Amino acid sequence: MKIAVEGCAHGELDKIYECVESLQEREGIKIDLLICCGDFQAVRNNDDLRAMAVPEKYHNICTFYKYYSGEKIAPILTLFIGGNHEASNYLQELPFGGWVAPNIFYIGRAGVIQFGNLRLGGLSGIFKNHDYLQGLWESPPYSSNSLRSVYHIRSLDVFRLSQLKEKIHVMMSHDWPRGIANYGDKDNLLRRKPFLREDIESNQLGSPPAEKLLNELKPEYWFAAHLHCQFAALVKHGDGTETKFLALDKCLPKRRHLQILDLPAEYDGDKQLKYDIEWLAVLKNTNHLLSVKNVDCHLPGPGSNERYNFTPTNEEKDHVASLLQNLVISNDSFVRTAPIYKPNTPKRAPCEAIMNPQTVVLCEKLSIDDPLQVALARMGRSMKQPEVFETMEIVEKTPIKCLPMTLPAPVTPSDCEDLSETTSALSQSNSFLTETENTTSECDTPPQSNKKVFKRRNLAMYSLEEAENGNNTSDSLVDSDSPRSSKFACKSNAL
């Protein structure tokens, strides 16, 4: 099984698929799955741009809308988690995951799914200490505060993932697990990103909840993005197991944003996307812990007079399996709940939450609550029923133009001081790959057609309005490569 791993997609699906298709043709291989580590930007229309935490002058429709409308079909099954630059109104429709377009699947706020015999887990969003313990209270229309807090990780999602006991093979997060820099070539990282030194030395770089899950779940692989640079690390756990960590860059020319992972045939299975029984059982067991209040909510733990261990028993998993009957996640369940993109349409901030049939069906089968529906009901509001929107003619496969390739010799982080100056889009990792794994040749990311537009987006597309006004914000990264992690320590009882 071959998997392509993408860092920050930032809506550039055409370019990512072109790169994948070029690699397949060049190397004579077939990639079975593409996973993206956040900032996917599933923007369907101009209204969705208003639900993204970026300044208006950097609103860019990019290319996802073509796959949502049916103008194109993703040539490879694509899975993604959310980051801190997303069409939050759309992702809130699918808190437990679902198809955002044919052949493109969102894992959810947190989740585990199976592809063949491979188990993949994901945690969407980024960590901010001041929102971590709060309930899921945000809903459209978003305020300037909720537009950002809606993508902040919550303790309930981490608590649910921590109940898993069966082996996770691949784990994804947007921000890095805290302390991961100490397990790789830290000196090389600091030569490329010297402004990270203070956060690394104070152990503030990265997400404490992700660090907790890394040590508890001990996945074989952990992929991340967010900091817009490539970094490989190897974490050795006390029980003798190892986690191979790799962070990747954003999808831009001369950035190391794509990695091909070659897995043993034992993971192949039927190569179908399926629900994970253990995860669904955890969702069902913890449904009563859901809070939609804008206050800190503490979860049960040892010493409490209520159940705090929600790892499902065999009987509970069998019950969930009987409720679903068929675990295969079919593309047929995808529904367009918003109009497709039309140029020059006025931008309007989303004011109504739309009910997504995929979430409705899953909630009914498992008898669990949709967090957004509960939050609206608490305010005396209700979700809007989806309308039927026109569909563009769907072709069997997106035609991909393979550009001429320039393939320099592979470069590892230990061989080069500044990876951003190389001409590669696909990395060779130093300690990340073992003898049983292979990388493919490198490929060039298709360049922007308009250099002037590219330069403008490259300066500040990923910044927030506060950054534009000169305020210091740690919610997002500006293209000057100046990421800052939260300076708030994560309280131990919050994890």
Question: 399: number of CA atoms within 13 Å, CB side?
Answer: 2
**What residues have CB less than 8 Å from 280, skipping those under 6 apart?**
320, 324, 366
Q: How high is the pLDDT of residue 412? A: 37
- The secondary structure of 457-483 as a DSSP string is HHHHTT--HHHHTT----SS--TTT--
Residue 231's H or E segment, with its range, is strand 231-236
pLDDT of 339 higher than 90: yes
Digit-coded pLDDT (tens) for 294-317: 999 999 999 888 999 999 999 999
Strands 118-123 and 110-115 come out as: antiparallel
Query: Which burial class, exposed, middle or buried, applies to 315 when counting CB atoms under 10 A from its CB (0-12, 13-18, 19+)?
Result: exposed
Q: How high is the pLDDT of residue 357? A: 96
Using an 8 Å Cβ cutoff, are 446 and 19 in contact?
Answer: yes
Digit-coded pLDDT (tens) for 77-122: 999 999 999 999 999 999 999 999 999 999 999 999 999 999 999 9
Single-letter amino acid, residue 153: I
Q: How high is the pLDDT of residue 55? A: 85
Digit-coded pLDDT (tens) for 225-277: 999 999 999 999 999 999 999 999 999 888 899 999 999 999 999 999 999 99
Q: How high is the pLDDT of residue 420? A: 34
- 150 backbone φψ class: left, alpha, beta (φ>0; ψ -120 to 50): alpha
Q: How high is the pLDDT of residue 381? A: 95
Edge to edge, what strands does the sheet with 33-36 contain?
Answer: 98-101, 104-106, 78-80, 33-36, 2-6, 258-262
Distance between first and last Cα of the chain: 35
Mean pLDDT (whole number) for 190-216: 96
- 287 closest CA partner among 362, 356, 354, 382: 362
Q: Per the structure block, which two tokens stand in for 455? A: 């330069």
Q: At what angle do helices 357-366 and 314-324 cross, to 10 degrees?
A: 130
Least confident interval from 84-98, 157-171, 387-401, 448-462: 448-462
Comparing 464 with 62, the larger pLDDT belongs to 62
Digit-coded pLDDT (tens) for 342-355: 998 888 889 999 99
Mean pLDDT (whole number) for 214-224: 98
CA 357, CA 487: separation in Å to the nearest integer? 40
Using an 8 Å Cβ cutoff, are 112 and 278 in contact?
Answer: yes
Q: How high is the pLDDT of residue 481? A: 38
**Residue 302's Cα: distance from chain center in Å?**
31
Q: How high is the pLDDT of residue 303? A: 87
